[in-house]
Amino acid sequence: MQVITISLCMIVKNEERILARCLDSLEGLTDEIIIVDTGSTDRTREVAAGYTDKIYGFQWTDDFSAARNFAFSKASMEYIYSADADEVIDPENRERFRRLKETLLPEIEIVQMKYANQLQFRTVYNYDEEYRPKLFKRKRDFVWEAPIHETVRLAPVVFDSDIVISHMAEGNHAKRDLAGLRRHCAAGFRPDKRLHNLYARELMMAGDAEDFAGAAEFFQSSAEDVSRDKEEVEEACCVVARAARLAGDTVTFFKYTSKVIAEEACSEICCELGQFYEDNGDPEEAAVWYYNAVYETQPILDLQTGGAKGLEGLVRCYERMGCREQAEIYRGELEKHGRR
């Protein structure tokens, strides 16, 4: 039986309270532990030293990818497992991980694992459990494919495992993430489609007025960027509309809500219009838009705008209009939504 070898690679900073919990849950599953510290001022290094002597310092450059690449460069085993200090693998999933080590086929280059407990703070993820790439083959084998017009296989071979990792975060990192994205964009960094979506989603789900004010200029440029596709422009318009509403800029608010409605309305824009009319003392008009958010459109960033947020708006509006029976109907819908 061929058992794969694994390097555990982590980047950490001030994780003395939870690092041992993570490493204890991985005991016996990895063959090498590499800890890259990006500037801890607590006992993080001392805790790490109880598990490994491969502890490296890395000058923080406001770039998580650079730190992870440095950690990966220190790995020497066949596969690399990337973990954060706030992750825990319970006994059942430890056994699944152990079996994976014994049965993983050599052609598999990436193993995805289910990342659970994501909705504890609901900053960027719409689902409590989603697959994430966690285990990576350190050296990729290039393979030629097809009997004629042969070509090298470029797409990695990915396996979706049944291993579940519990994300046990100590706090909400949205403020940190959004500030970092704002700095990089201000310096000229252009997010690709994936990161553009994540930036917009984190703002819509967890951003405050300050975050939206800081992101408005970038997303306004993005909404006018002809090289962005329809989905990216729609995301940008949602962000700019929210930023304008929070800032009391009615002209800009209606300009960017109209851009989306002219194409195909989404739940986020309908909720923005509902909130605008509700804030301006027109619950009847607000209810129309909240209804559209829930029943006539689909969300593109925050699933709750097409569910709980829209329904909560309908309840508030009908209560304000004195229509208690209608409010109770939507309250019942809200309760059913919460049980799904």
**Domain assignment present for 45:** yes
- Asked whether residue 158 falls in the same domain as residue 222, the answer is no
In tens, the pLDDT along 16-65 reads 999 999 999 999 999 999 999 999 999 999 999 999 999 999 999 999 99
Residue 1 lies in a domain: no
| Inside any domain, residue 198 | yes
Residue 85 counted as domain residue: yes
Count of structural domains within the chain: 2
Query: Does the predicted model carry a pTM greater than 0.85?
Result: no
Is the domain of 193 the same as that of 314? yes
* Confidence band of 225 (pLDDT split at 50, 70, 90): very high
Domain of 290: which CATH number?
Answer: 1.25.40.10
| Predicted confidence band of residue 120 (pLDDT cuts 50, 70, 90) | low
Q: Note whether 155 and 259 are same-domain residues.
A: no
Question: Are residues 186 and 157 both part of a single domain?
Answer: no
**94 and 219 fall within a common domain:** no
Cβ–Cβ under 8 Å, residues 13 and 39: yes
Cα(164)–Cα(162) distance, integer angstroms = 6
pLDDT given for residue 150 in this prediction: 77
On whether residue 102 sits in a domain, the answer given is yes
Residues 180 and 161 in one domain: no
Is residue 179 a part of any domain in this protein?
yes
**Domain-terminating residue out of 118, 152, 167:** 167
- Of 132, 167, 202, the domain-final residue: 167
**123, 210: one domain:** no
For residue 1, pLDDT over 80 is answered with no
Find the domain containing 49 and state its range.
Answer: 6-167
Q: Among 167, 198, 227, which residue terminates a domain?
A: 167
Mean pLDDT score of the chain, rounded to an integer? 93
Residue 212 falls inside a structural domain: yes
**40 with 126, same domain?**
yes
CATH code at 27?
3.90.550.10
Reply yes or no on whether the pLDDT at 332 is more than 90.
yes
Residues 295 and 329 in one domain: yes
Residue 219, pLDDT above cutoff 60: yes
Q: Is 86 within the bounds of a domain? A: yes
- Check whether residue 186 and residue 208 sit in a common domain: yes
Same domain for 121 and 149, yes or no, is yes
**276-325: per-residue pLDDT in tens?**
999 999 999 999 999 999 999 999 999 999 999 999 999 999 999 999 99
pLDDT in tens, 186-217: 999 999 999 999 999 999 999 999 999 999 99
Q: Mark whether 17 and 110 lie in a shared domain.
A: yes
